[in-house]
Chains A and B, each alone.
Chain A
Amino acid sequence: MGDYPSRSENATAGDLAATSSRGQGAGYGTSPSSFNEPPLGGGGALPKKARFSIETGFRALSTASGAMVLVIIVAIAVFLISKAAPALSANNANFFTELKWFPNEADPSFGIAALAFGTVLSSIIALIVAVPIALSIALFLSHYAPRRLATPLGFVIDLLAAVPSVVFGLWGRDVFQQPVRDFSLWLNEYFSWIPLFGGDGPFGQSILLGGLVLAIMVLPIVTSLSREVFQQTPGMNEEAALALGATRWEMIRTAVVPYGKPGVIAAVMLGLGRALGETIALALTLSIAFNISFNLIENGGNSIAANIANSFGEANATGRGALIASGLVLFAITLVVNMTARAIIYRRREFRDSAA
């Protein structure tokens, strides 16, 4: 490097920083703040780096803001546990197996079993209904529709993802309930030999209604995420499949779906996370019941989040603690689901970068 007389250790350090960070392209400048103090001689004319400067302060400020996210996540766990603990120790029943929810009595007994069951069941119904349809729409937007139709339709889907959940809940209760009740009656008449559709009514405000409303809410999210994944399929792969004589569906099956699989799984998991935590739509559409029943069409159903919204008003101190404890369980469930989804995406990103 004798050709560059002014080149000091600083420059080398900067270069290394720029090239050693993998997968960081144009957006990355070298960061002068990570420079060591210049040695005497080459960079001696430069001012000495101050120990405390605006630079250090700004750097510390932004680092603290970044760390704030971790602080908040930890704080959520800590504060929920601290408020849930007194109620849990006052509980006379096993918190994980008890069905009933009587935390406001003088002799509190409550458990999360029925609530957790309802949460999982409604989310599963939502995913079973929403995922095939969402993936179809995503494929339609990315590979079937002409561009003139796909762009505005994708825009509309993105807008629907922004509609507040309380609106879907209101719609589910005021409008969608009647068709679902008719459908439930029909199912009950012809399929009551299947335990899922048995029972003597009343029908309508059932876990089926809640699950379907959730499905409609999850649909735009899963669609827009998986559409992005499908659009990222390398054109080379698609063209290679088509050139070998594949029909369009065979091209999608052999080139698009395998490539997008991790992304689609992650999108579904994120949709699941959204469905598990959904509060108001379920609070408006379910009629409250504290039992574990696989009957989909009879009035009933409950979920952790909906129960919090419904019971919060008349809760005393123990009742609030009990609700916070159930929220803690919900937090743990969604944290696991989200971390799994993100881990899948991250593995894929690593793979893509190193392959590129």
Chain B
Amino acid sequence: MSIIEREAPGVVMTPDNIRSKKLPVLTNVLVAVVSFAVAAALVLGLDIGNWVLVVFLGAVFYLVALYFVASSVEGSRAATNRTMKSLIYAACVLAILPLASVVWTLVSKGVNRLDGDFFGTSMNNIGARDPLGGAYHAIIGTLEQVGIATLMAVPLGVLGAIYLVEYGRGKFAGTVRFFVDVMTGIPSIVAGLFILSFWVLIVSPWFNNGQPRFSGFAASLALAVLMLPTVVRSTEEMLRLVPGPLREGSYALGVPQWKTILKVVLPTALPGIVTGVMLAVARAAGETAPVLLVAGGAAAINFDPFAGNQQSLSLFVYQQAGDASKFAPDRAWTAALTLVVLVLVLTVTAKLLARRNKLSR
């Protein structure tokens, strides 16, 4: 209707007037230059801020001016489209800045203490004036705690997922699935408090002449609580992707269900399960709060996770960050870099493994 009304009789259709009008790129650039110039003049002239405010105000002016210029040329709908697109691109740039800063700081400050001493010594007998000292004990602690946590969480998690996929029917399975999801969001500090009140304060006195005792094993328990829901969720997803005919073929050959699960379903889903487990391990390795509450932290090397305080990398970072020594920040950053490298290696391997996985959604 409106198009017919708008069409003037006798107008020849040329390529120029059958296409909708587009804002020329040159005008776009001109608007940008003018708005940034106005912002600079305003900010520096009135002396109300520095170049950050110039950039910010310039961007705002540019978006507003662009909207009006574009709506006079292209119409308001196209102008809205253009403005939203610019906003979305601007948000991306805004988000990348701090994240890039995190990575840059991590690398530039982390290399200061990246030496053999850092990976070969502990903090035992390192005073505030000693520049050396390292994270050997913390690395040992992290590896042991995460390893034991994995040993506990993975069998439990995989069996739980098997229940949800192969056996679970009805309301109870639905409840379990719901609470697995809910448990994913439990704060790590709450898991730490749980193990503190359950293991450290109630169970550990039985083995230690009535005295509560911090230990690396308690940290493993807390990490296992945090890993369990992640492992169940990812394994469940992978088991669901195993094609039904594989199971049915096995049943048809007279193989009982448990054997089918162990020999057919699990091997098929194995790469995906490993991916999920590695992501859970990566998350657990970075947890600080539960370790702080139940492992106690230590300056010396302790290989025994069941007796005595133990350190972990993330806790080492936290403690060094709070240390007053002028050498502590360097140690903290190098430990942080080590931790991030450890976590990222696990994550990247897991993601690459997931890409090679034949079962895909």
Whether the pair B288, A164 counts as a contact (CB closer than 8 A) is yes
Q: Which chain A residues lie closer than 8 Å to B87 at the CB level?
A: 136
How many Å lie between the Cα of A29 and that of B265 in the bound state? Answer: 10
Whether the pair B80, A247 counts as a contact (CB closer than 8 A) is yes
Which of B198, B229, B339 is the one whose CB lies under 8 Å from A164?
B339
How many Å from the CB of A337 to the closest CB on chain B?
7
* Contact status of A308 and B189, CB under 8 A, knowing A162-B279, A339-B182: yes
Closest to A245 in B: B77
B69 within 8 A of A: no
Q: Which of A111-161 contact B (CB under 8 A)?
A: 132-134, 136-137, 139-140, 144, 155, 158-160
* Contact status of A55 and B194, CB under 8 A, knowing A26-B243, A69-B176, A216-B99: no
Chain A 328-344 per-residue mask, 1 if CB under 8 angstroms from chain B, else 0: 00110011011101100
How many Å from the CB of B293 to the closest CB on chain A?
6
Chain B 10-47 per-residue mask, 1 if CB under 8 angstroms from chain A, else 0: 00000000000000000000000000000000000000
Q: Which chain A residues lie closer than 8 Å to B191 at the CB level?
A: 76
Whether the pair A167, B182 counts as a contact (CB closer than 8 A) is no
Interface range for B: 35 or more
Whether the pair B193, A80 counts as a contact (CB closer than 8 A) is yes
* Interface Cβ pair total, 8 Å cutoff: 290
A83 within 8 A of B: yes
Closest to A312 in B: B293
How many Å lie between the Cα of A309 and that of B91 in the bound state? Answer: 33
Closest to B285 in A: A164
Closest to A132 in B: B91
Whether the pair A76, B190 counts as a contact (CB closer than 8 A) is yes
B308 within 8 A of A: no
* Contact status of A323 and B193, CB under 8 A, knowing A164-B343, A248-B85: yes
Of B60-68, B114-122, B125-133, B313-321, the stretch lying at the interface with chain A is B313-321
Chain B 264-277 per-residue mask, 1 if CB under 8 angstroms from chain A, else 0: 00000000000000
Closest to B202 in A: A79
B148 within 8 A of A: no
Q: Which chain B residues lie closer than 8 Å to A339 at the CB level?
A: 182
B344 within 8 A of A: yes
Closest to B229 in A: A69
B289 within 8 A of A: yes
Whether the pair B185, A273 counts as a contact (CB closer than 8 A) is yes
How many Å from the CB of B267 to the closest CB on chain A?
15
Whether the pair A334, B186 counts as a contact (CB closer than 8 A) is yes
A6 within 8 A of B: no
Whether the pair B105, A346 counts as a contact (CB closer than 8 A) is no
How many Å lie between the Cα of A63 and that of B179 in the bound state? Answer: 15
How many Å lie between the Cα of A254 and that of B325 in the bound state? Answer: 58
A286 within 8 A of B: no
Chain A 48-60 per-residue mask, 1 if CB under 8 angstroms from chain B, else 0: 0000011100110
B244 within 8 A of A: yes
Which of A164, A186, A247, A320 is the one whose CB lies under 8 Å from B78?
A247
How many Å lie between the Cα of A151 and that of B189 in the bound state? Answer: 34
Whether the pair A62, B317 counts as a contact (CB closer than 8 A) is no
Closest to B332 in A: A170
Chain B 130-174 per-residue mask, 1 if CB under 8 angstroms from chain A, else 0: 000000000000000000000000011101101111111100010
Which of A68, A249, A312 is the one whose CB lies under 8 Å from B80?
A249
Q: Which chain A residues lie closer than 8 Å to B179 at the CB level?
A: 69-70, 73
Whether the pair A190, B48 counts as a contact (CB closer than 8 A) is yes
How many Å from the CB of A156 to the closest CB on chain B?
8
B81 within 8 A of A: yes
Whether the pair A137, B257 counts as a contact (CB closer than 8 A) is no
Question: Dominant SS at the B interface?
Answer: helix
Whether the pair B156, A68 counts as a contact (CB closer than 8 A) is yes
How many Å from the CB of B51 to the closest CB on chain A?
12
Q: Which chain A residues lie closer than 8 Å to B49 at the CB level?
A: 186
Which of A32, A62, A327 is the one whose CB lies under 8 Å from B189?
A327
How many Å from the CB of B287 to the closest CB on chain A?
7
* Contact status of A133 and B251, CB under 8 A, knowing A170-B336, A277-B187, A323-B193: no
How many Å lie between the Cα of A75 and that of B228 in the bound state? Answer: 15
Q: Which chain B residues lie closer than 8 Å to A338 at the CB level?
A: 181-182, 184-186
How many Å from the CB of A264 to the closest CB on chain B?
15
Which of B84, B196, B288 is the one whose CB lies under 8 Å from A165?
B288
Q: Which of B213-227 contact A (CB under 8 A)?
A: 225
How many Å lie between the Cα of A63 and that of B164 in the bound state? Answer: 8
* Contact status of A27 and B347, CB under 8 A, knowing A247-B77, A248-B85: no
Closest to A332 in B: B190
* Contact status of A335 and B182, CB under 8 A, knowing A66-B160, A162-B282, A162-B283: yes
Which of A27, A136, A166, A190 is the one whose CB lies under 8 Å from B165?
A27
Which of A29, A83, A330 is the one whose CB lies under 8 Å from B251?
A29
B106 within 8 A of A: yes
Q: Which of A269-288 contact B (CB under 8 A)?
A: 270, 273-274, 276-280, 283-284
10 closest residue pairs by CB, A with B: A277-B187, A164-B286, A29-B247, A136-B91, A65-B159, A66-B163, A338-B185, A247-B81, A58-B258, A83-B197
Listed by A's residue number, 18 A-B pairs whose Cβ atoms lie within 8 Å are: A29-B166, A29-B248, A63-B168, A72-B228, A76-B186, A79-B197, A80-B193, A134-B95, A167-B106, A174-B329, A175-B101, A216-B99, A249-B85, A270-B185, A276-B187, A277-B190, A279-B189, A284-B318
**Given A28-B244, A166-B336, 14 other A-B residues pairs in contact with their CB atoms under 8 A:** A54-B258, A55-B257, A69-B179, A79-B202, A134-B95, A164-B339, A169-B318, A175-B101, A190-B48, A248-B81, A278-B187, A280-B288, A312-B292, A327-B190
Measured CB to CB, the residues of B under 8 A from A are 48-49, 53, 77-78, 80-81, 84-85, 87-89, 91-92, 94-95, 98-99, 101-102, 105-106, 109, 155-157, 159-160, 162-169, 173, 175-176, 178-191, 193-194, 196-198, 201-202, 225, 228-229, 232, 239-248, 251, 256-258, 260-261, 279, 282-283, 285-289, 292-293, 314, 317-318, 321-322, 329, 332-333, 336, 339-340, 343-344, 347-348, 351
